[in-house]
A = this chain, B = another copy of it.
Amino acid sequence: MRLLLISNSTNPGEPYLDYPKKKIGEFLGDNPVKALFLPYAAVTFSYDAYEKKVSERFQETGHNVVSVHHYDDPVKAVSEASAIVVGGGNTWKLIKNIQDKGLIDIVRQKVLGGTPYIGWSAGSNVACPTIKTTNDMPVMEPRSFNSFNLIPFQINPHYLDANPAGHAGETREQRIEEFIEANPDVYVAGLREGTMLLIENEEINLFGPRKARIFRKGKPPIEVGPDDDLTFLLERES
């Protein structure tokens, strides 16, 4: 199994998908790959516009994407994909469309069978067992909260330490503490902006300029960096 799970598409002040571009290119390898792109997280812009934006950046890596919305049969398109790329936007829209089009099982089957998967933001969220650690507003109701379940832990993308000035609600850490209270057997990895997890079979490594923050019920949160052993995150409870 090969996954590149990215916190956010874009760092402030940088072009779209610029910072993870190099890693995306390496991940897909030396031979040009035309990956299947799932644009369903888009709500306020078109799939065509989204595909164009992503395609431009992927071409700079020597690869390319084609969006699944061009295919009459999305299940068949996934089954024939050489790589699967899932972009960010709104996680609820994304998971609803994935479920409605019947793509959960086929994506899981393909990725477990070795097809590379790249996700960022909402696209990293849906690689998890459920979407219960999304930050997004639930603007539409999916069939369930279950997702691709490619990894046994949850990612919180865009993990933030601070609240905005004047915000009197819960911090992100408090929200994740609610998650582990309600879901005591699941690890959560808070992925800060500009960071990503690379998972290749039994190996998992963090890349980027910031540490990740790991949460689990009954344990104090820990900070982990690129040199730390993260394989405990991949252990599935029996």
Tell me, rounded to whole Å, the shortest Cβ–Cβ distance linking A231 to chain B.
26
Q: Does A176 belong to the interface (CB within 8 Å)?
A: yes
B139 and A8 form a contact (CB under 8 A): no
| Best-surrounded residue of A10, A134, A141 (most CB of chain B within 10 A) | A141
Residues in B neighbouring A134, C-beta threshold 8 A: 137-138
Q: A220: CB under 8 A from chain B? A: no
Decide: A166 near B12, CB < 8 A? Known: A141-B145, A178-B43. yes
Assembled-state Cα–Cα distance A199/B183 (Å) = 37
User: Which interface class (under 10, 10 to 19, 20 to 34, 35 or more) fits A?
Assistant: 35 or more
The chain B residue sitting closest to A91, CB to CB, is: B138
Instruction: Name which of A8, A9, A135, A168 has the most chain B CB atoms within 10 A of its CB.
Output: A168
* Residues on the B chain within 8 Å of A90, using CB: 170, 175, 178
On chain B, the residues within 8 Å of A131 by CB distance are 138
Closest Cβ of chain B: how far from A70's Cβ, in Å? 22
Tell me, yes or no, whether A44 is within 8 Å of chain B by CB.
Answer: yes
Interface centre among A93, A175, A176, A182 (most CB of B within 10 A): A182
Contact call A179/B139, Cβ cutoff below 8 A: yes
Tell me the bound Cα distance from A168 to B12 in angstroms.
Answer: 6
The answer to whether A139 and B193 have CB atoms under 8 Å apart is: no
Q: Mark A163-179, 1 if CB is under 8 A from B, else 0.
A: 11111111000111111
Q: With an 8 A cutoff between CB atoms, is A61 at the interface?
A: no
Interface residue A136 (Cβ < 8 Å from any Cβ of B): yes
Known contacts A134-B138, A138-B145; 15 further A-B pairs (Cβ under 8 A): A8-B168, A10-B168, A12-B166, A12-B168, A43-B178, A44-B177, A132-B138, A137-B178, A138-B138, A139-B178, A158-B169, A160-B164, A162-B165, A164-B164, A168-B193
